[in-house]
A = this chain, B = another copy of it.
Amino acid sequence: MPADAKPLRADAARNRARILTAGAQVFSERGPAASTEEVANRAGVAIGTVFRHFPTKADLLRAIMKDLLDRLLSDVDGLLRDSAPGDALFAFFTGLVAHAARQKTVVDLLAEAGSGLNVPDAVGRLERSVGSLLEEAQQAGTVRRDVALPEVMALLAAVCQGAVQGGWPPDLQTRTLAVVFTGLTPR
């Protein structure tokens, strides 16, 4: 990893940031099919500027998702530090679903294969983090020992997907998660 090759000019850095946040908004609302021009408009720059920073629409999406991923991973760290031992996994799960219900981009991240992009090792990094949450929960006796990482990741992705596409209201989110959590808890 070459530490960010060249320092950007002041205006360039500002515009890059604007494009990134505008893109996060637009793609969250309209899905990944939203046009690059709309991102440019919302960012208050010309289309050419967007393409100068991200030569391809896919590059733009990748960059946005990488930001999102970094934020999620630091959430996991915070949760491991702050939650009651064993509850961190459930807290992360709940938080991610609530977040996804408003930020479609989360779903695209989890569905990487579907979206055709590939954020460098996104699933790998997320998997490792969720893995540590799972392990901690199992050691604390909050989660059954015979469930493994793949199905936890699968459920995470599935429930986020569902929450987004179906526009679940908060109470449906909690009721659905209750079933899943019951399924994960030892009897």
Contact = CB atoms under 8 A, between A and B. Distances in A.
The A contact surface, by secondary structure, is helix
Contacts of A158: 158-159, 161-163, 166, 176
A157 B168 CA distance: 11
Interface stretch (A10-18, A42-50, A63-71, A144-152): A144-152
Contact of A179 (B33, B110, B113, B184): B184
Interface of A: 33, 110-111, 113-114, 147-148, 150-151, 154-155, 157-159, 161-168, 172, 175-176, 178-184, 187
A100 to B, nearest CB: 11
A162 B166 contact: no
A112 B175 CA distance: 21
Greatest chain B CB density within 10 A among A172, A183, A187 is at A183
